[in-house]
Amino acid sequence: MSSELIVFLVLAAVAVLSGILMITRANPVNSALFLILNFIALAGMYLTLNAQFVAIIQILVYAGAIMVLVLFVIMLLNLQDEEPLRETLTKRHYASLLFALLTLAMLIEAIGWMGGDTLDRMQQQSPLAVANGTVQHIGDVLFSSYVFPFELTSILLLAAMLGAVVIAKKRFP
Amino acid sequence: MEFTDILISLIKIIVMFVVVLVTVAELVYTERKISAWIQNRIGPNRVGWKGLLQPYADVIKLLLKEDIVPTAANKFIHTLAPVISIGVAFSTLAVVPIAGETISMFGREVQMVIADVNIGILYILALTSMGVYGLTLSGWSSNNKYSLLGGLRSSAQMISYELSMGLSVIGVVMVTGSLQLTDVVTHQAGWMWNMVLQPVGFITFVVAAFAETNRTPFDLPEAEPELVGGYHTEYSSFKFALFFLAEYANMITASAVITTLYLGGWQVPYLELLQLPSGIVVALQILAFVVKVAFMLFVFQWVRWTVPRFRYDQLMDLGWKVMLPIALANVIATGIVILLIS
Amino acid sequence: MIPVHYYLILSAVMFITGVVGVLTRRNAIIIFMCIELMLNSVNLTFVAFSSYLGNEAGQMFVFFVMAVAAAEAAVGLAIVIALFRNKQTVNINEVNILKW
């Protein structure tokens, strides 16, 4: 096994396990912590994919800002443990599990369906990958070809900010 | 990655670690001495020569105490939180360059920085944002209302000030044109320090750094008179020592980052005119770096014993209504000036 | 070298984990986190393809997905807070007033 494969398998194992633990913990804070672990594993994976800008933004935005906000809300509402999952396993749970497994089979089938030659072409990373992942290149592309969506993002964020303030504000009668 | 490379990295990491640990110990001493000097007292003077060994006595005292974990606490997170704090504080130092010249070790030219990554500034910001978790989780897991309030305050405070911190750094990035910290320092040759080029950004960054390290006047997460001890109310013994260590290590990290970004890092103005041999140049550069960091550390302590603590609403007002607009205006002004010059 | 479909299968597994979470859990915040997990699994696909095809468009998409996720987090959590203020719960089964 090459060292790259070992790194990939370790990160993949961390990502999948933390994901599964995330959806099975009764305590929301534990769930949030496992999700953060998942994000960090993904950031490591982006580094192996030579996407360093995305990797650092993953930590900065997801782990550093969004999850802090989630933890903040969980702590603010002082949420306690939910009832353990096992006692409330109902038909709905089994049905959703079945549905999920079917979807997984379908997705994997779709990956196979991409065709042997497409997959054969993508046996290794493109030689352009290293140059494409740098902050400089991302910045060049973002502020030339993608400048309109980028500006739209700012409007989206402004709207979200206003919306959040209006929704969460205490209404005085 | 050969064996010697790994060995060199290990040596750098261990040296950095030991230096920071010793500095933390002496910082505790200087903090008490400076507070004594400002308040017209004598300060520690019993243990060792002039009380220099006092912090070591304190550490031994802390380690010998009983480790108390509240019954209702979440044990795992309660233990994890100080580890996060200390880990974040130390790993930020990995990208800070302490000298420009290389030295030869095992037949290689070794750079005086642990990891010279080309996204150094983003790395620092990312780790700073991870630092929130240590305080927030410790506050939540203790299952104590004072701790919880401290934890909530710290997460709100650190998110708010991260914004102005990031925006202040953008000014430096615009001036330098690189996110690599070695480039940032090389760009500040002579007297062209970013403190001179970016005075407003420097001030906002320093204020934000004070808030990020939870030092007075922004030490609301642990405000003693109102919250007992804030997030570390329920910590004792070794874990409390870890938080203590993390606070001072954070101070060192913040000073090192401020020095690198704004005070010219290891730059000694016009040193290259003297044509000194490279060994002496390295020594002088390290000395310059240490002196600048020590000065920033002194400023941190000086402010702590001079300025009273903010009220919580004042803190939020300052962060959102003053710091953020100023930092934004600084970015715009920097952009205009760069456009006019080029 | 790692073929690209390793990443795709990992992404599929993570996506399904998120789907199971959304379908089984009743806590609004955990459902929210499951959606973040699904968004992240899609991001992984984007970055993997971007890197294997040598095309930066995938990373651009990830950038915009993250911006949308940040906006979603702000509004979603505000809704959770408003919900908790009215109902004292974040269990979505209790939020059925529209079903009258």
pLDDT in tens, B295-336: 989 998 888 888 888 888 888 888 888 989 999 999 999 999
Q: Average pLDDT of A19-35?
A: 87
For chain A, percent of residues with pLDDT exceeding 70: 86
Distance from CA of A117 to the nearest CA of C (A): 12
Out of A56, A71, A78, closest to residue B122 by CB? A56
Domain that holds residue C46: 4-90
- Average pLDDT of the residues of chain A: 82
What's the whole-number mean pLDDT along residues C78-93?
82
When CB atoms are compared, the residue of B118, B122, B132 closest to A60 is B122
Residue A39, pLDDT score? 92
C39 touching A (Cβ < 8 Å): no
A79 close to C (CB below 8 A): yes
Q: Does C68 contact A at CB distance below 8 Å?
A: yes
Q: Does the pLDDT at position A105 exceed 90?
A: no
Return the exposure string of C42-78: e unless at least 16 CB atoms fall within 10 Å of the residue's CB, then b.
Answer: bbbbbbbbbbbbeebebbbbbbbbbbebbbbbbbbbb
Range of lowest pLDDT (A115-119, B153-157, B201-205, B216-220): A115-119
In B62-101, the residues whose Cβ lies within 8 Å of chain A are: 74, 77
Task: State the total domains in chain C.
Answer: 1
Quote the pLDDT of residue A81: 66
Q: Which of C28, B221, C44, B50 is nearest to A45 (CA)?
A: C44
Among chain A, residues having any CB pair with chain B shorter than 8 Å are: 27, 29-30, 33, 36, 52-53, 56-57, 59-60, 63-65, 68-69, 71-72, 75-76, 78, 134-135
Query: Please, do chains A and B touch (3+ CB pairs < 8 Å)?
Result: yes
User: C35, C63, C65: which to substitute to probe chain A, counting the most A Cβ within 10 Å?
Assistant: C63
Please state the pTM of the whole predicted model.
Answer: 0.88
Q: Provide the token pair at A28.
A: 């929301």
| Chains C and B make contact, 3+ CB pairs within 8 Å | no
CA distance A90 to C35: 22
Q: Is residue C60 one of the residues assigned to a domain?
A: yes
Cβ atoms within 10 A of the Cβ of C23, count? 17
Q: Which two tokens stand for residue C24?
A: 């089984």
As a whole number, mean pLDDT of residues A123-142 equals 79
Q: Tell me whether B162 touches chain A (CB under 8 Å).
A: yes
Which has the minimum average pLDDT: A23-32, A110-119, B293-302, C2-11?
A110-119
- So what's the ipTM on this one? 0.89
Can you give the residue ranges of every domain in chain B?
Answer: 56-341
Helix (H, G, I), strand (E, B) or coil at B199: helix
On average, the pLDDT of chain B sits at 84
Q: Which of A34, A35, A56 to mutate to test the interface with B (most CBs of B within 10 A)?
A: A56
Distance CA B231, CA C15 (A): 36
Tallying the residues shown for chain C, one arrives at 100
Q: State the residue for tokens 């983003």.
A: B122
Mutation pick from A8, A16, A61, A77 vs chain C, by most beta carbons of C within 10 Å, is A77
- How is chain A split into domains, by residue range? 1-82, 93-173
What architecture is the A1-82 domain classified under in CATH?
Answer: Up-down Bundle (1.20)
Q: What is the pLDDT of residues A134-172, one digit of tens each?
A: 888 888 888 888 899 999 999 999 999 899 888 888 775
Q: Work out the pLDDT band at B229, boundaries 50, 70, 90.
A: confident
pLDDT value of residue A83: 59
Instruction: Using pLDDT thresholds of 50, 70 and 90, give the confidence band for residue A17.
Output: very high
The three-class DSSP label of residue B180 is: coil
Q: Is the pLDDT of residue C96 over 90?
A: no
Cβ of B151 and A53 within 8 Å?
A: no
What band does B221 get if pLDDT is binned at 50, 70 and 90? confident
In a domain, C53, yes or no: yes
Check CB contact of C26 with chain A, cutoff 8 Å.
yes
> What confidence score (pLDDT) does residue A142 get?
87
Q: Residue B147 — very low, low, confident or very high, per pLDDT cuts 50/70/90?
A: confident
Residue C99 lies in a domain: no
- Out of A30-44, A119-133, B222-236, B306-320, the most confident range is A30-44
Residue C11 domain-assigned (yes or no): yes
Question: Residue A23 — very low, low, confident or very high, per pLDDT cuts 50/70/90?
Answer: confident
